[in-house]
Amino acid sequence: RKFKALTMSTINKTSLHPTSFFLLGIPGLETAHIWISIPFCLVYIMAVLGNSILLFIIKSDQSLHEPMYLFLSMLSVADLILTTTTLPKILSLFWFNDREISFDACLTQMYFIHSLSTMESGFILAMAFDRYVAICNPLRHSTILTHSVIGSLGLAIVFRGAVLLSPHPFLLRWLPYCRTTIISHTYCEFMALIKLVCAPTRIRKAYSLIVAFLTGGMDFILIMCSYVLILRVVFNMPSNDARLKTLGTCGSHVWVILAFYTPAFFSFLTHRFGHHIAPHVHIFVANIYLLIPPMVNPIIYGIKTKRIREKFLKVFIRDRVLLLFQTKTTREI
């Protein structure tokens, strides 16, 4: 009842340039928000812990300072920032009914979500390039992907995401919002905001579509091309053992690609073309896109990569057990 009253009052008091918006959450599932928050909170904790542990392991082990793991650490940093930008506000909405978000905070959150997602896509592409060079040109792998080249690629990916998405807040800032100030979403994002505008938005939508294609779309195409070339080399190998061993080095990366691009493309397409899809389905998938990849990336590499797995067991399990044993022995003495 309180929210219905709030809804009516905000509609009546809507101005052309509002000072704040109100997040609806997951439409149709408002009564279940408190239950939905439980898996969301668990996934957030796992994402923060998993990526923090992964960064610690890669930083502390010199043998993991290789291109694939350096790009993976960049992806983990982007994952940490992205989840921290969105999940605390979502959980606050679910737990405390804290729906209000200031206009500037909304634009800032939107910018971080889209720019960091673009960076994540770039880091996944860089990891595909590393696999391509390692398999198709192994003798030159260390000379092509030096630390300076890796650093330059990382900076270029960050620069691309930061610059190409920087017009988005300005494209939306001075538009008239005369329909409503209620966003039918759990967080602020470009398409959800532009639906509230009562002015021509064709050019802004076109720019958003072009940027999405030039970043995520082109990244995915280049990733597919790299794997076509990798498969061509693999199938020309003389033995099945060599083929399986080589493909095994790509397994973790393939799972990361699927975890990132599947919900991303579904969310992107339903926003623009899926007008008949139930709103709660779309919002749920959009949240999965933000939640699941940051959680599963460290799990995938932790399980599939022997060196990361062994380092984790050594640092966080064996050393703890040894410390407990030594403490117990000391007390007994």
- Residue pair 123/71 in contact (Cβ under 8 Å)? The answer is yes
Beta strands, E only, 88-242: 100-102, 182-183
Q: Could you tell me which of 268, 114, 102, 275 has the C-alpha nearest to residue 183?
A: 102
Per-residue pLDDT at 211: 94
Per-residue pLDDT at 40: 94
Q: What is the rounded average pLDDT of the residues 56-63?
A: 89
Q: What is the rounded average pLDDT of the residues 306-330?
A: 66
Locus of tokens 């380092």 = 311
**Residues 159-218: tens digit of each pLDDT:** 999 999 999 999 898 889 887 889 989 999 998 899 899 888 889 889 998 999 999 999
pLDDT band of residue 280 (cuts 50, 70, 90) is confident
Per-residue pLDDT at 6: 47
Per-residue pLDDT at 251: 86
Give the whole-angstrom CA distance, residue 141 versus residue 280. Answer: 46
**Residues 230-266: tens digit of each pLDDT:** 999 988 888 888 888 888 888 889 999 999 998 888 8
Give the whole-angstrom CA distance, residue 193 versus residue 172. Answer: 8
Q: What is the rounded average pLDDT of the residues 122-141?
A: 94
8 class by beta-carbon count within 10 Å (0-12 exposed, 13-18 middle, 19+ buried) = exposed
Give the whole-angstrom CA distance, residue 314 versus residue 321. Answer: 10
Lowest mean pLDDT among 59-68, 169-178, 277-286, 317-326: 317-326
Q: Please state, as a whole number, how many other Cβ atoms lie within 10 Å of the Cβ of residue 298.
A: 25
Does the structure show a pLDDT above 60 at 10? no
Does the structure show a pLDDT above 90 at 229? yes
Q: For the chain, what is the mean pLDDT?
A: 86
Does the structure show a pLDDT above 70 at 8? no
Per-residue pLDDT at 13: 46
Class (C level, CATH) for 20-306: mainly alpha
pLDDT band of residue 11 (cuts 50, 70, 90) is very low
Percent of the chain whose predicted confidence (pLDDT) is above 70: 89
The token duo for 80 is 């940490």
Does the structure show a pLDDT above 80 at 63? yes
The token duo for 236 is 């020309």
Per-residue pLDDT at 153: 97
- Residue pair 121/80 in contact (Cβ under 8 Å)? The answer is no
* DSSP letter for each residue of 48-66: HHHHHHHHHHHHH-GGG-S
Give the whole-angstrom CA distance, residue 308 versus residue 227. Answer: 24
Backbone angles phi, psi at 274, to 5 degrees: -90, 65
Q: Could you tell me which of 164, 256, 269 has the C-alpha nearest to residue 214?
A: 164
Q: What is the rounded average pLDDT of the residues 85-100?
A: 93
- Residue pair 262/293 in contact (Cβ under 8 Å)? The answer is no
